[in-house]
Amino acid sequence: MNKIVKIVLIVIGLVAAGLWFAMPDGDDPNAINSGALNFMFLIMYLLLAIAVVFSLFFALKKLFGTPGSLKKALFGLGGLAVIVAISYGLSSGNAEVVNAMADRGVETTEGTVKTIGMGLNVFFILTVIAVALMVIPGLKKMFTGR
């Protein structure tokens, strides 16, 4: 099986390299309609789909095959849900932002502004948690010597 995968990857690599040299010039206005470019996108979508399917398969196999992993995953999803709920509560559907966007010609609602604010808050909270989880063990090791 391993040899077959290697052969398939070599063939895909050679086809992609051939298509690379067949790509049109960037100044060509009809470059978007190029068959080589479309085929490269097709290869990319195919490889992406294969990667997603295998990632999901092995993740779910490990999730349901390892005792205790489902419980940990549910705790993680619950924690993420709590962070999303807190972020939604902290965000505001500011009417001034809606009016500013309308002045620029972008139709939006207060709900959309609140959802975007929630997404930003989730990002910031998760970033702070990630940095803390990287820094705290280093500081603990530095001060305790372990």
Average pLDDT, the chain: 87
pLDDT of 96 reads 79
Q: Do 33 and 27 contact (CB within 8 A), yes or no? A: no
pLDDT value for 146: 66
State the pLDDT at residue 37. Answer: 76
Q: What is the DSSP letter of 143?
A: H
Q: What digits encode the pLDDT tens for the residues 85-103?
A: 999 998 887 777 778 888 8
pLDDT 10s digits, 111-143: 888 888 899 999 999 999 999 999 999 988 888
